[in-house]
């Protein structure tokens, strides 16, 4: 047996430390968090690996067969004899594959819009807290006004304006990016508020003072010194906002202003499935909806757990 | 007190002006207003003439001033898509949305307060716990799924309620209501439940938390010691003191009621402002979008002002001072 390399040793030591940390301890002792994490992980893997594990390339018209339309869940295909676990839609599209591909779009928009709003919110929050004065008043005033308007309304407005600015022939390609920007812009204010609060506390501490004495610029101090110390609450908000962003995306797509039907997300699938509710083909709507609710609920529960775990007062 | 009200008013005007500036920039810089109004074959001269008539060649502040002046008169221009004055489109659809929003707020307040009080008094009761867990799930359920679920249950399976539209409405001048006919009332039930559900869970949790707080205070203990009946303590003493945060939150939530109405109206094909707005976004109908934005801002500002004034009615301690109430 070979002796472990120093790198592997260091890595395993780090792993052991992480395993012993407070957050990991509280995770091991919270069944709700474990179940939620497993659900999120399974749905996440399903979405990421969709091209390899999905039984069918759901949005390649060549792989569809109209003969298979409206197959009930668990029944075999009329053509190939393969069983459709979750049934098919009107065009004979396997719902399991459609959901795997659909949650890919939903999660992509969710994650990207959260990253987008973190970048805007954290930088504006740092600037407001550290620079103070007029910058602070101006940024927080906008945040206040925006927070009192519902996010979905702001996202719709941004979406409409973006559509007006982009030439119609590019609408379809730009849809996902527009969606990410719209949802991201509607959620930055909560990050800005939290980061501003923590920055106000941090900026009077000695390490900031010494950095200032050393002559570092304001932006360097904000980025290199204050930022690493205000990230805890950001993580909690980001988790809960991820659920909100996924719901916002599905809502917009459901309203018909989100991603185009050629590249559907869970919301688009639900919108399409709604048409078949009255004729009794419930599965076309039910399984995408179930996937969406499970995803949002588990992420919410994880967020709740993380908030409690990172808050030493509640221990 | 008067100084406080004046300050609130000034703030309200500032917010309206800020939103108007946003709406104006949308109208002016997104797309070309002239190209949207005339056909493809309009000559350059015609376009220039229209631009002049619309005042598009004036300096920016002058244009903004005219825009605000028109807005206060209710003139929002013509819809690009429907070719009708936005004013008429709004007037047609305001009653449907207002009726829906008010009824669902009423529903949420009545049941939210009742359930909240019940959950606080019977803290360990089975029903109280069931209501609390249900409200947790309710927060994670997107509004449109609640609506679809109701449609499936009551319209598809049971066939009790219509799945879309307002039913028959009665007209009074420009106002219309669905409350006076049977189909109208039936059509209201599911949209009201859908729209009110989120608010209801919020109000219920808030009332419960505040009640638990109030039931621990000295004046409640003292009332008990005086032998006042428990029912009277809960409602006269404890509930009364929980009303300030409840009214604040319920009021500030009215904005989200309008927003969730966008979704609810689309699910139930309710002919209201929200559905109009979604169509406007799809077709980039800027004047309609701008008008809707102004409408929501107005509702928001009016509600905030009334919440501020309600503080004075509900909390006698504030009447003597000019300080802003702590939120």
The ipTM assigned to this model is 0.78
- Which pLDDT value is given to residue B5? 79
Highest mean pLDDT: which range of A304-308, B236-240, B277-281? B277-281
- Put simply, whether A95 touches B (Cβ < 8 Å) is no
- Put simply, whether B250 touches A (Cβ < 8 Å) is no
- Put simply, whether B263 touches A (Cβ < 8 Å) is yes
Q: Is B229 helix (H, G, I), strand (E, B) or coil?
A: coil
- Put simply, whether B14 touches A (Cβ < 8 Å) is no
- Which pLDDT value is given to residue A107? 92
Asked whether residue B40 carries a pLDDT value surpassing 70, the answer given is no
The mean per-residue pLDDT over the stretch B130-144 comes to 77
- Which pLDDT value is given to residue A312? 61
Looking at the DSSP bridge assignments, the partners of residue A75 are: A84
Number of CB pairs < 8 Å for A and B? Answer: 96
The mean per-residue pLDDT over the stretch B71-93 comes to 80
Asked whether residue A78 carries a pLDDT value surpassing 70, the answer given is no
Of B71, B57, B54, B62, nearest in space to B17 by CA: B71
Among residues of chain A, what percentage have pLDDT more than 90?
Answer: 10
- Which pLDDT value is given to residue B326? 43
Asked whether residue B122 carries a pLDDT value surpassing 70, the answer given is yes
Of A277, A274, A249, nearest in space to A263 by CA: A249
- Put simply, whether A137 touches B (Cβ < 8 Å) is no
pLDDT digit string (tens) for B69-79?
887 877 777 77
Asked whether residue B263 carries a pLDDT value surpassing 60, the answer given is yes
Strands (E), A40-114: 75-76, 83-84
- Which pLDDT value is given to residue A4? 61
pLDDT digit string (tens) for B154-163?
888 788 888 7
pLDDT digit string (tens) for A85-97?
677 777 767 778 8
**Residue A276 in tokens:** 């078949």
- Put simply, whether A300 touches B (Cβ < 8 Å) is yes
The mean per-residue pLDDT over the stretch B174-186 comes to 79
Q: Which of B18, B137, B286 comes nearest A145 by C-beta?
A: B18
Contact across the interface for B140 and A274, Cβ inside 8 Å:
no
A252 contacts A158 by C-beta, under 8 angstroms = no
The mean per-residue pLDDT over the stretch A58-87 comes to 69
First to last CA, chain B: 16
pLDDT digit string (tens) for A249-284?
988 888 888 777 777 888 888 888 888 877 777 788
Residue A55: band (very low, low, confident or very high) from pLDDT cuts 50, 70, 90: confident
- Which pLDDT value is given to residue B325? 45
Asked whether residue B178 carries a pLDDT value surpassing 80, the answer given is no
Asked whether residue A132 carries a pLDDT value surpassing 90, the answer given is no
Contact across the interface for A152 and B262, Cβ inside 8 Å:
yes
Residue B324: band (very low, low, confident or very high) from pLDDT cuts 50, 70, 90: very low
Residue B220: band (very low, low, confident or very high) from pLDDT cuts 50, 70, 90: confident
Separation of alpha carbons A73 and A87, rounded Å = 4
The mean per-residue pLDDT over the stretch B135-142 comes to 75
Residue B318: band (very low, low, confident or very high) from pLDDT cuts 50, 70, 90: low
Contact across the interface for B258 and A150, Cβ inside 8 Å:
yes
- B14 versus B168: which is more confidently predicted? B14
pLDDT digit string (tens) for A219-241?
888 888 888 888 878 888 888 88
Instruction: Output the pTM of the full model.
Output: 0.82
Of B164, B290, B266, B169, nearest in space to A256 by CA: B266
A186 contacts A159 by C-beta, under 8 angstroms = no
- Which pLDDT value is given to residue A123? 92
Q: Is A94 helix (H, G, I), strand (E, B) or coil?
A: strand
Asked whether residue A62 carries a pLDDT value surpassing 50, the answer given is yes
Contact across the interface for A164 and B30, Cβ inside 8 Å:
yes
Strands (E), B35-166: none
Handedness of CA B125, B127, B129, B131 (dihedral sign): negative
- Which pLDDT value is given to residue B138? 72
Q: Is A301 exposed, middle or buried (0-12, 13-18, 19+ CB in 10 A)?
A: buried
A104 contacts A263 by C-beta, under 8 angstroms = no
Residue B327: band (very low, low, confident or very high) from pLDDT cuts 50, 70, 90: very low
- B149 versus A92: which is more confidently predicted? B149
The mean per-residue pLDDT over the stretch B108-112 comes to 90
- Which pLDDT value is given to residue A279? 77
Residue of B nearest to A149 (CA): B255
The mean per-residue pLDDT over the stretch B110-126 comes to 86
């Amino acid at each position: 047996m070979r002796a472990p390399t120093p790198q592997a040793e260091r890595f395993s030591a780090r792993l052991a430390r992480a395993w012993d940390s407070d957050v990991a301890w509280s995770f091991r002792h919270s069944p709700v968090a474990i179940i939620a994490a497993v659900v999120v992980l399974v749905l996440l893997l399903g979405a990421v690996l969709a091209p390899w594990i999905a039984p069918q390339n759901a949005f390649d018209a060549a792989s569809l067969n109209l003969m298979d339309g409206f197959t009930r869940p668990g029944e075999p295909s009329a053509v190939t004899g393969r069983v459709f676990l979750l049934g098919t839609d009107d065009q004979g599209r396997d719902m399991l594959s459609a959901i795997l591909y659909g949650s890919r779009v939903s999660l992509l928009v969710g994650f990207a819009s959260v990253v987008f709003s973190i970048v805007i919110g954290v930088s504006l929050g740092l600037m407001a807290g550290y620079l103070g004065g007029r910058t602070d008043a101006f940024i927080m005033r906008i945040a206040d006004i925006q927070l009192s308007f519902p996010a979905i309304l702001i996202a719709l407005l941004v979406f409409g304006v973006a559509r007006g600015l982009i030439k119609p022939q590019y609408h379809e390609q730009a849809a996902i990016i527009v969606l990410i920007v719209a949802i991201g812009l509607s959620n930055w204010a909560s990050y800005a508020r939290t980061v501003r609060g923590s920055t106000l506390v941090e900026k009077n501490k000695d390490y900031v003072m010494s950095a200032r004495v050393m002559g570092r610029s304001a932006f360097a101090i904000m980025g290199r010194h204050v930022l690493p110390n205000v990230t805890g609450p950001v993580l909690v908000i980001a988790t809960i906002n991820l659920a909100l962003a996924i719901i916002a995306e599905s809502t917009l797509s459901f309203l018909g202003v989100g991603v185009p039907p050629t590249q559907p997300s869970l919301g688009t699938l639900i919108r399409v499935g709604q048409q078949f509710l009255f004729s009794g083909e419930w599965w076309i709507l039910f399984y995408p909806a179930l996937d969406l609710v499970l995803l949002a609920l588990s992420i919410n529960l994880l967020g709740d757990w993380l908030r409690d775990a990172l808050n030493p007062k509640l221990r | 007190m008067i100084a406080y009200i004046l300050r609130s008013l000034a703030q309200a005007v500032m917010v309206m002006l800020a939103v108007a500036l946003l709406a104006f920039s949308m109208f002016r810089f997104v797309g070309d207003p002239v190209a949207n109004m005339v056909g493809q074959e309009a000559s350059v001269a015609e376009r220039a003439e229209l631009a002049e008539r619309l005042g598009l060649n004036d300096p920016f502040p002058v244009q903004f001033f005219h825009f605000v002046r028109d807005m206060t008169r209710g003139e929002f221009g013509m819809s690009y898509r429907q070719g009708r004055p936005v004013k008429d489109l709004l007037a047609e659809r305001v009653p449907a949305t207002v009726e829906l929003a008010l009824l669902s707020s009423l529903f949420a307040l009545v049941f939210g307060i009742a359930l909240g009080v019940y959950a606080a008094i019977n803290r360990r009761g089975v029903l109280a716990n069931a209501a609390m867990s249900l409200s947790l799930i309710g927060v994670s359920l997107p509004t449109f799924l609640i609506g679809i679920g109701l449609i499936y249950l009551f319209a598809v399976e049971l066939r009790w309620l219509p799945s879309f539209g307002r039913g028959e409405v009665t007209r009074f001048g420009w106002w219309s209501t669905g409350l006076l006919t049977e189909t109208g009332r039936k059509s209201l039930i599911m949209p009201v439940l859908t729209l009110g559900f989120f608010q209801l869970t919020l109000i219920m949790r808030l009332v419960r938390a505040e009640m638990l707080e109030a039931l621990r205070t000295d004046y409640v203990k003292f009332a008990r010691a005086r032998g006042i009946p428990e029912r009277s303590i809960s409602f006269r003493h404890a509930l009364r003191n929980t009303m300030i945060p409840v009214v604040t939150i319920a009021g500030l939530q009215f904005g989200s009621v309008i927003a969730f109405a966008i979704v609810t109206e689309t699910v139930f094909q309710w002919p209201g402002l929200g559905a109009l707005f979604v169509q406007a976004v799809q077709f980039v109908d800027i004047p309609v979008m701008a008008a809707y934005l102004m409408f929501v801002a107005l509702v928001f500002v009016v509600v905030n002002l009334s919440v501020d004034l309600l503080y004075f009615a509900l909390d006698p301690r504030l009447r003597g001072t000019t300080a802003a109430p702590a939120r």
